């Protein structure tokens, strides 16, 4: 009944889909990011790495492997199996957090690998409910805002629980437990969305499950542009993940222990401003022009991240403005990759396919790059402070990212002619 009601009211459908997708993915972050609010400073080092660095690395390795698996699983997923697959994946992640709490440190680190392993496929499954619609920009940007907002929220909840006396090893599963019921309700409501209408298909091209053969054919046809986007996204993901993971260390280094800024103080303004700005793309009906504007948004975001780093080094802006602007620039570039850029790309080239395939090809290399950066920082450049390393990454992101994005934009503009 709810599905039929939504199908008859497209305006209400847009709002409903945006809200339930936002809530679903925000709740997922309780299973993935809450542990990063703890410093685990009393745990012993392992392999010349801090215990927290080991946890971050093994979880990202599991998450990266999940992205490679997702190239097949998400792109081939039929609509009837999405909801139960989502619940199963999140259930596996929750059990891993329980194991992390029950097994004493440092022997519990493998559970973070098994926590990350299922979670990497959640994004693609949630977005598959939204893609290929007339209002995908609005829905997709609402979904993207969730991972900016939720990352800070779940860490703040984790901090609060530890302030109430919850042990730092039990805190992650406790945060997941708080968000479990809202998660189940959100998945149920998400599964009530109707399929794209005939008008949606005419405007945005049909979205269908893809076989291995069709995936390979699509990639070969557009390989130059896709490779450029993957290179840019790999650097961007590593930068964004490093910023998100070690924000607490940045504040401690910049202001001293006990003077940290709440995660949500920088991330919530970023999420709102980026969301509102990119949502204007829904007004652009021409898919080719919208794809070009997406490329422009990515390039501008990368430039802002790099320029704000230089401005902070010159003493022009404060640390709060610096981390706020790096967040704004990062998400200005990162959000289009995770929703609207690939959706418009498919609509521009008019190839029956799905966004899940393109996102997971990019994401698999993106998170592989994130793993490599973490290993490099901890093993090859341990003498660099967190802030100094983040400085260097910001300059690299700006130079390579802007050039790669410009070349990709030119390539796909010609392909859509």
The reported pLDDT for the residue numbered 262 is: 57
pLDDT band at 410 (very low <50, low <70, confident <90, very high): very high
Residue 79 pLDDT: 86
% of the chain with per-residue pLDDT over 70: 95
Contact (Cβ atoms closer than 8 angstroms) between residue 116 and residue 66: yes
174, pLDDT greater than 60: yes
Give the tokens for residue 280: 């204007």
| Of 306, 353, 358, 356, nearest in space to 333 by CA | 306
pLDDT at position 113 is: 94
Residue 390: pLDDT band with limits 50, 70, 90: confident
Q: What is the pLDDT of residue 379?
A: 72
Q: Which residue shows structure tokens 């993935």?
A: 32
Q: How far is CA 3 from CA 10, 16, 85, 199, 269, in A?
A: 11, 11, 20, 17, 34
Give the end-to-end CA distance of the chain in Å, rounded to a whole number: 43
Chain-centroid distance, C-alpha 252: 25
pLDDT of residue 229: 94
Structure tokens at 410: 């030119």
Q: Chain-wide mean pLDDT for the chain?
A: 85
- What the block records as the tokens of 365 is 């290399």
Q: pLDDT grade, residue 185 (50/70/90)?
A: very high
At 17 the pLDDT is 92
Q: Given this model, what pLDDT does residue 267 score?
A: 65
Tens digit of pLDDT for each residue in 99-134? 999 998 788 889 999 999 999 999 889 989 998 888
pLDDT in tens, 230-272: 999 999 988 888 887 777 777 777 776 655 555 556 666 777 7
Question: Structurally, what CATH architecture does the domain formed by 2-415 represent?
Answer: Up-down Bundle (1.20)
Q: Residue 88 — very low, low, confident or very high, per pLDDT cuts 50/70/90?
A: very high
Predicted confidence at residue 201, as pLDDT, reads 87
Instruction: Please write the tens of the pLDDT for every residue from 320-335.
Output: 788 788 888 988 898 8
Question: What are 332-369's pLDDT values in tens digits?
Answer: 898 888 778 988 898 898 887 888 889 899 988 888 88
Using one digit for the tens of pLDDT, what is the confidence trace for 10-29? 888 889 999 999 999 999 99
pLDDT at res. 263: 57
CA distance 147 to 150: 5
Half-sphere exposure of 6 (CA within 13 A, CB side): 18
* Average pLDDT of the residues in 401-413: 93
């Amino acid at each position: 009944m709810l599905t039929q009601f939504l199908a008859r009211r497209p305006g209400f459908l847009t709002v409903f889909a945006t809200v339930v997708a936002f809530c679903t993915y925000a709740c997922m972050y309780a299973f993935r990011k809450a542990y990063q609010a703890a410093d685990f400073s009393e745990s012993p080092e392992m392999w010349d790495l801090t215990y927290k660095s080991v946890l971050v690395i093994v979880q990202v390795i599991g998450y990266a492997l999940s992205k490679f698996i997702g190239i097949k699983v998400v792109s081939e997923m039929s609509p009837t199996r999405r909801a139960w697959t989502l619940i199963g994946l999140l259930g596996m992640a929750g059990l891993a957090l329980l194991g992390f709490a029950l097994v004493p440190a440092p022997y519990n680190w493998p559970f973070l690998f098994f926590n990350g392993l299922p979670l990497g496929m959640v994004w693609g499954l949630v977005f598959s409910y939204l893609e290929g619609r007339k209002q995908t920009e609005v829905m997709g940007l609402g979904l993207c805002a969730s991972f900016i907002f939720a990352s800070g929220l779940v860490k703040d909840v984790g901090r609060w629980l530890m302030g109430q006396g919850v042990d730092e090893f039990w805190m992650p599963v406790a945060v997941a437990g708080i968000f479990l019921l809202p998660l189940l309700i959100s998945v149920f409501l998400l599964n009530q969305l109707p399929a794209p209408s005939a008008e949606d298909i005419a405007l945005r091209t049909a979205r269908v499950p893809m076989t291995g053969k069709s995936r390979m054919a699509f990639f070969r046809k557009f390989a130059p542009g896709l490779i450029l986007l993957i290179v840019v996204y790999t650097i961007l993901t590593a930068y964004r993940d490093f910023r998100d993971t070690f924000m607490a260390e940045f504040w401690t280094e910049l202001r001293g222990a006990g003077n940290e800024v709440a995660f949500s103080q920088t991330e919530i303004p970023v999420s709102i401003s980026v969301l509102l700005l990119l949502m204007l793309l829904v007004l652009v009906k021409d898919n080719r022009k919208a794809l070009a504007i997406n490329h422009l948004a990515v390039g501008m975001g990368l430039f802002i991240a790099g320029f704000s780093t230089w401005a902070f080094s010159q003493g022009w802006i404060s640390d709060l403005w610096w981390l706020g602007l790096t967040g704004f620039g990062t998400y200005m570039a990162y959000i289009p990759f995770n929703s609207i850029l690939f959706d418009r790309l498919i609509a521009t080239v008019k190839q029956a396919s799905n966004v899940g395939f393109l996102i997971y090809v990019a994401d698999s290399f993106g998170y592989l790059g994130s793993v490599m950066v973490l290993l490099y920082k901890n093993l090859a450049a341990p003498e660099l402070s967190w802030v100094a390393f983040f400085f260097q990454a910001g300059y690299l992101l700006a130079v390579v990212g802007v050039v790669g994005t410009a070349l990709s934009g030119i390539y796909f503009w010609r392909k859509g002619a």
